[in-house]
Amino acid sequence: MKLTPHILYRMLLEEFGYQNWWPIDKNYHEKHRTDPRFEIIVGTILTQNTAWPNVEKALTNLKTKNMLDIKKISEIDRESLQNMIKPSGFFNQKAERLKNLATYLHNNHHDNLGYFFDKDINGIRKELLSLNGIGPETADSIILYAGNLPIFVVDSYTKRICKRLPLNTHISYDEIQHYFEEELSKKYSEKNLTQVYNELHALIVVLAKNYCKKKPECSKCPLRRHCLFKKHLSQ
């Protein structure tokens, strides 16, 4: 059986179950009448080059100060913002990126994420990529998880797994993204693709963190029968 993105999705879903990403604090947003999508956007910036528990600490600091708001982030002084997000690491850089993004959304979209996401995906992506510190992975995470729009996110885990299985001989971001989207669009309707992309990305992260690590634990991996990397190690 040839391993395809669709088969990979079904196997990982059976193994790990639905992941239901992106985690947000619904109670906070109901209480403060804020847009939960902005928490996701902030999280995509904070999670750059750090582990999720550190992001949660930074988000908690922002919530404590009631700062998960586009206008407030755009207006806060940089030093105060740096102190709040310090647990996420690279806080000077991330504070600048958060302020740039919040200021852009405030000035160009009047703090209205519904308006921002009510456009063609390519247009949204182009806007995001034009902002300092937002690359393809962060932009696509914002589009998928905050915008709830169908785009497949490629991260270092996805590249690692594609190379090892292999699923695709090419490991550039655009090539992997195009391959997954092309193959999965053959199996799922457009209205279901967002959930499939969401879950598959999350499932790949779970696989990579638990089994397909830098030093892999192939003997326990649910994909061991399909993996050429494991066969290579066994020789």
Q: Count Cβ atoms below 10 Å from residue 172 Cβ, excluding itself.
A: 11
What pLDDT is attached to residue 226? 87
- At 177, is the secondary structure helix, strand, or coil? helix
Comparing 112-126, 173-187, 221-235, the range with the smallest average pLDDT is 221-235
What pLDDT is attached to residue 89? 96
Domain residue limits, the chain:
5-20+152-234, 34-146
What pLDDT is attached to residue 190? 87
Long-range contacts at 4-9 (CB < 8 A, ≥ 24 apart): 4/167, 4/183, 5/167, 5/179, 5/180, 5/183, 5/184, 5/200, 6/183, 6/184, 6/186, 6/187, 8/167, 8/200, 8/223, 9/184, 9/196, 9/199, 9/200, 9/203
What pLDDT is attached to residue 214? 92
- The answer for residues whose C-beta is within 8 angstroms of residue 130's C-beta and 6 or more apart is none
Instruction: Tell me the per-residue pLDDT of 47-74, one tens digit each, with 9 for 90 and over.
Output: 999 999 999 999 999 999 999 999 999 9
Instruction: Tell me the per-residue pLDDT of 6-59, one tens digit each, with 9 for 90 and over.
Output: 999 999 999 999 999 999 999 999 999 999 999 999 999 999 999 999 999 999
* Reported pTM: 0.94
pLDDT band at 2 (very low <50, low <70, confident <90, very high): confident
Q: In Å, how far from its chain's centre is CA 82?
A: 22
Instruction: Tell me the per-residue pLDDT of 216-231, one tens digit each, with 9 for 90 and over.
Output: 999 889 999 888 876 6
Instruction: Supply the CATH classification number for the domain 5-20+152-234.
Output: 1.10.1670.10
What pLDDT is attached to residue 233? 57
pLDDT band at 1 (very low <50, low <70, confident <90, very high): low
CATH class as words, domain 34-146: mainly alpha
What pLDDT is attached to residue 82? 98
Comparing 96-100, 141-145, 171-175, the range with the smallest average pLDDT is 171-175
What pLDDT is attached to residue 230? 60
Residue 224 to residue 109: CA distance in whole angstroms: 48
